[in-house]
Copies of this chain bind each other. A is one copy, B any other.
């Protein structure tokens, strides 16, 4: 069963059919879906679920820290259920697909104090951009 679902239940989440299907959709995917893709898959399991609910639910999961929001471009945000392992992203410039990657090194350490301008730096995001094998083939 769903780990994600267990964790959410453990946090006192009220369990509804809608939330269940959203959690299941995310949990079952190893790619990063957009909210609309999540909605499309959720509708397949529960036809009357609304877009607003999908947005609400995703937003709550992000707030709870169970899911990461990734916005690599002007297109739709994508949701990453792999919130418990630090990683970066490899994005296809053509189709927008995202993969998780685990590079060596700690980029936070690469930012010397002299370059911090008084900011309290708490996080770093690294986005590698390129063309995925799929898009390269159909170029």
Contact = CB atoms under 8 A, between A and B. Distances in A.
Interface of A: 71, 73-74, 77, 90, 92-93, 99, 101-105, 107-108, 110-112, 115-133, 136
Please indicate which of the listed interface residues A111, A119, A125 has the most CB atoms of chain B within 10 Å of its own CB. Answer: A119
Nearest to A116: B90
Given A126-B124, A126-B125, A127-B125, A90 B105 contact: no
Contacts of A136: 118, 120
Given A71-B73, A74-B71, A129-B124, A119 B92 contact: yes
A-B pairs with lowest CB-CB distance, top 8? A118-B133, A121-B130, A105-B110, A119-B130, A103-B110, A123-B129, A101-B115, A125-B127
Specify how many copies of this chain sit in the oligomer: 2
Contact of A103 (B77, B92, B112): B112
Contacts of A101: 111, 115-117
A79 to B, nearest CB: 13
A122 to B, nearest CB: 5
A127 B88 CA distance: 11
